Amino acid sequence: MASKNSKTATRLAHGGRTSNDHYGFINTPVYRGSTVLFENTAALKKRDARYTYGIHATPTTDSLTDLITELEGGAGTVLAPSGMASITTALLALVEAGDHVLITDSVYRPTRRFADKVLAALGVEIEYYDPLIGAEISHLFKENTRVLFLETPGSQTMEMQDIPALVTAAKAHKGRREIYTIVDNTWATALFFRALDFGVDITLQAGTKYIGGHSDIMLGATTANERTWPLLSRTHTALGMCPGTEEVFLGLRGIRTMEVRLRQHMASALLIAAWLRERPEVSEVLHPGLPGGPGHDIWLRDFKGSCGLFSIIFEPVNEACVDAFLDTLDLFGLGYSWGGFESLAIPFDPSTYRSATEWVGKGPAVRFHIGLEDPDDLIEDLDSGFSSLARCRDGKN
């Protein structure tokens, strides 16, 4: 058993294990099931059994949620069938009609869609704010502000938010009700940023990414502190949010090796980001872990590490030449999501959907996920991509 003082890698290896309940086998098996039988009517009527119905919890889900709660230092964790479902659960747990919700303009785009389409239709007032606003956020608070939604660094554009300043402002506000803070912590995970220690109320992550780690599951995990846990737990049950048992098992399998994987993602991504920064075709590297890069000071102050995900902005160049760059890449796949063992690249353009701030990239932008391949091979691959870009730019084909 991991002790109170155990380091993260030890907790990941030992947390959530209940081997004695499984004949000594190390891993909690996949409990498949809907109905749970009670011994007699008295037991059924007492309603105090840990397991009552498949939707609520099984020993398999408990193993994963116990481990995540321990890592996050929270009051409890609930699972969802995707990271996006974790986001909707957290928001629905805290808001009601008439509330005002502030969301960072750098937010994961589907979160924006949920807020604009679903929350707004339910009578919730949605407002976006500059991710770099810091303590000035207090000027946006209203009488009915209920949730301050954070994501750091921001999806694709990688702005580091000043979480301590934002949380302090939220706690100081005297409105109709207290303001709760939610952070989408998918980039850093609990390993690199323990959000609840910074006063955030609910932290969530797409388990699809680094918990799974192998691009073979969809999963989400949401962890609450004491004051929001009753709300989160109640809403999670009411919504019927239960991931498939196989996915939970794969989440458990993945999370055991998360620390060692993340350390490699971090090292390779920093190496490649530094290499990219020296390229004449690149105008800016958006990686908060990179010394001198945007957000690095805040990252250094608050975070313990960085992952495999960062972006670059090219020098002004025809978009077709960026396509040529991407199409030449052999080891980098073109596809959505990230967090697996493989490297990925995706072009993006936030100027089309930002609303509180204007995105003015000097040139086209691409987001990379650096996987667990050898970074030398990845650099060679990128190098051939730049050759294609140059040929395209110079009109050679």
Ligand X SMILES: *Cc1c(COP(=O)(O)O)cnc(C)c1O
Q: Which parts of this chain interact with ligand X (CB under 6 A)?
A: 82-84, 108, 155, 184, 186, 206, 208-209, 218, 220, 337
Q: In what order do the strands lie in the sheet with 202-206?
A: 76-80, 220-224, 202-206, 180-184, 145-151, 100-104, 125-129
Residue among 15 and 83 whose Cβ is closer to ligand X: 83
Q: Are 368 and 355 in contact (CB under 8 A)?
A: no
3-state secondary structure of 287: coil
Residue among 28 and 186 whose Cβ is closer to ligand X: 186
Q: Are 326 and 334 in contact (CB under 8 A)?
A: yes
What is the Cα–Cα distance from 359 to 154, expressed in whole angstroms? Answer: 13
H or E stretch covering 205: strand 202-206
Residue among 67 and 183 whose Cβ is closer to ligand X: 183
Q: Are 73 and 229 in contact (CB under 8 A)?
A: no
DSSP state of 186: T
Q: Which residues pair with 180 in a beta bridge?
A: 147
Residue among 328 and 343 whose Cβ is closer to ligand X: 343
- Which tokens sit at 196? 């609840």
CB of 112 to ligand X, least distance (A): 11
What is the Cα–Cα distance from 101 to 149, expressed in whole angstroms? Answer: 7
CB of 303 to ligand X, least distance (A): 15
CB of 380 to ligand X, least distance (A): 27
C-alpha dist (Å) from residue 122 to 99, 100, 184: 10, 12, 22
Residue among 108 and 299 whose Cβ is closer to ligand X: 108
CB of 208 to ligand X, least distance (A): 3
Residue number, nearest CB to ligand X: 83
Q: How many residues belong to the chain?
A: 397
Residue among 72 and 184 whose Cβ is closer to ligand X: 184
Residue among 67 and 84 whose Cβ is closer to ligand X: 84
CB of 158 to ligand X, least distance (A): 11
Q: Which of 89, 98, 100 is nearest to 129 (CA)?
A: 100
- Which tokens sit at 119? 């929350």
What is the Cα–Cα distance from 221 to 186, expressed in whole angstroms? Answer: 10
Residue among 84 and 345 whose Cβ is closer to ligand X: 84
CB of 83 to ligand X, least distance (A): 2
Backbone angles phi, psi at 149, to 5 degrees: -100, 125
CB of 347 to ligand X, least distance (A): 16
Q: Are 84 and 205 in contact (CB under 8 A)?
A: no
CB of 80 to ligand X, least distance (A): 9
Residue among 305 and 363 whose Cβ is closer to ligand X: 305
CB of 185 to ligand X, least distance (A): 8
